[in-house]
Structure 1
């Protein structure tokens, strides 16, 4: 392996590396990354190497200084990968590691000439700028020629971020039948139209989407726009989340900025519908604010603004844990908010296989007791959660 280490050190220290690609796992791991690509990038005037880890359709990035990058590459070759390709302007270097851990480096003609160091180069969006998207034109985000209007660029970015998140979960949706999707609190429906356009027009899914909101004028406008765009499988209705009972089953439930416990009402509906995917951006998490008490945390909780933020985070953590206890795998991810508020956490949940529900329940009970809280969602799903929590409480006695 010494020859690989020497080559890595030489190429990184002399800034010759254009791209490195690591592949051929030593041991398959369905939950881990399958490939790593390394490229030089310039950050704040200094050379870094960006490591892109590929997890199926998802990619995670890590930017390292040259010395850190050299060590990381050494670890990846030693523990994870059997093959690699270093590309420079003068030559390519093919790295092969045998099962007995013997390494060979083959020098080949160059296939790349220059490195792109600009870290903030133009982002490639799912909905591309320069290509007119009918609903974005009608909603005033794009011009008829496909140019994104300057004052709407933040909305354009948010819409694309949402579509990227949908793209990450489509593999969890059922196939071979019509997908039923409900968007609670759809508002002006920028994201509802984006969801319809991506799933139906770009991905070819057979879908029925219903957008629900309390404002009659907003729903009327959205219905007219859907008709104008020919979105015959997209419907809008006036109604309250808690009272909505027009469907008996939904494959995906979306709820963006439903206020306070309206988010919990939507999550309850999703669970009872056995939805395969839940996408929720909570708003105004007031419920736990007056409940949270802890002498240990008093130096933090005695400040109102800190307590409010903590209670919001605790609320979303509780929601994620309760969803896990009833059969979902959850992630709390950053979401670009349209109105530039701090409320930009998205709860993404997909139906998953078995989990250690007993452990989840014990940890939840301990967290609940520590903060002296009684969450709405637990009460709403009492019939599902009570047996799990009772068993966990019994184990703790």
Structure 2
């Protein structure tokens, strides 16, 4: 299909009010501040509009456009992004654009969907909050008929936010072999089960997932749930990050709330295994707090609470920069709203192998020297930083 023909096909369906929703992703330029755009039809004062939800790293912005002006907006969208996932009334369309706008169009029939033109309709999740999912029922997030329990709604939102990060990572995972995924410090494993469900069941990918945690009783419970759900490619092991030596290569490493340098151990392992995707939510960053010695910051660091928070932010900044220096495209993102937990930073890194510039390394060295920091992760990856 030619590029212009593709636009005509889209506009025809949208003009015929067949659009249910759409997601536009994969910015052509890494510098693009807009990471994703979601589209949905709405009715304002009796007039049909398309609402565009622009998703930046930390904020959302909305714009409502009449059909007369939507064609011009679509041109701008296609200039900036390479992937579209579109749900029409009875059809799902996936579009992938090459750098030269070669079009890959995939279409499949779907069950008929209702178009909701309400302006204030509820948030659309990758996991629907009215659909029963066996793993969420088993974990106590949903009732047997698929309703999210009131006291578990924050957990449901967290799970969906995590799945959005997983969904964004799909293009960075291998297509020609089984995808190997490790989750260090899996704990009760809400997100481990969610990851497995989304990639294996929703997306049909060939994956093998291992959850690792020190708490034997928690691991035994997770094993029982995985067995009951017949999740054959999901295993749980009792073990420590530092002692796990069963792998030589891993495609994705997830580490959620590993305490202090345990996060750094997991990040170092991920780099050494050549992981293409790293998702890390750090916790309890004490290392830099103990080392911090910068007279210029005394106005801040003389206060224990401020010192602790500054040290945590500086630690995650250092981690992100080290990952960048060893060949990753690294982002620091908000995992969930800060009102739900203060541990809301997620480090997301995709491997591209690009060498850092002299200026990047100099900037990093000056920063850690200013703080009198001797980062654990820097020591663990010294050979990679010097290569």
Shorter-normalised TM range = 0.7 to 0.9
State whether residues 55 and 61 of structure 2, in contact with CA within 8 Å, keep that contact through their aligned partners in structure 1.
no
1:155–1:338 contact (8 Å) kept in structure 2: no
- What is the aligned partner in structure 2 of residue 217 from structure 1? 217
| Structure 2 portions without partners, runs of 5+ | 1-26, 45-49, 74-115
Question: Partners in 1 of 2:189 and 2:146 — Cα distance?
Answer: 20
Measured after TM superposition, the shift of residue 383 of structure 1 is: 1.7
> Which residue is 2:83 aligned to?
none
What is the alpha-carbon distance in structure 2 between the residues aligned to residue 312 and residue 203 of structure 1? 36
Aligned twin of 1:241: 241
Taking a change above 3 Å as real, the CA distance of residues 337 and 258 of structure 1, as seen in their structure-2 partners, is farther
Structure 2 distance, partners of 1:287, 1:313, is 12
Quote the Cα distance in structure 1 between the aligned partners of 2:175 and 2:58.
Answer: 25
Q: Output the CA distance in 1 between the equivalents of 2:371 and 2:43.
A: 44
Contact 1:278 1:349 in 2 (8 A): yes
Alignment of 1:1-397 (within 5 A): 29-31=28-30, 32=32, 52-53=53-54, 61-62=60-61, 86-87=66-67, 92=68, 116-118=118-120, 121-336=121-336, 340-385=340-385, 387=386
How far the C-alpha of 1:351 sits from its partner, in A, is 0.5
Instruction: Say what the alpha-carbon RMSD is for the aligned residues.
Output: 3.2
CA distance in 2, matches of 1:333, 1:246: 30
Task: Flag as ranges the 4+ runs of structure 1 deviating above 4 A.
Answer: 33-42, 93-97, 114-117
Cα distance in 1 for residues equivalent to 2:178 and 2:246? 17
C-alpha distance 358-140 of structure 1, shift in aligned 2 (>3 A): same
Native 8 Å contact 1:158 1:338 kept in 2: no
1:166-200, CA deviations, whole angstroms, 9 ceiling, x for partnerless residues? 00111100111101100000001110000000000
| Correspondence for 2:14 | none
Shift of 1:219: 0.6
The alignment partner of 1:193 has SS state of: helix
Cα displacement (A) at 1:131: 1.0
Q: Which 5+ residue runs of structure 1 have no aligned equivalent?
A: 1-27, 43-48, 70-84, 98-113, 389-397
Q: Which protein shows a greater Rg? A: 1
Partners of 1:352 and 1:198 in 2: CA distance:
25
SS across alignment from 2:295: coil
Query: Structure 1 338/227 Cα, relative in aligned 2: closer, same or farther at 3 Å?
Result: farther
Q: How far apart, in 2, do the equivalents of 1:52 and 1:297 lie? A: 40
1:26-74: CA deviations, max 9, x gaps? xx954446989799999xxxxxx9863479xx9973258xxxx9xxxxx
Tell me the distance in 2 between the aligned counterparts of 1:124 and 1:234.
28
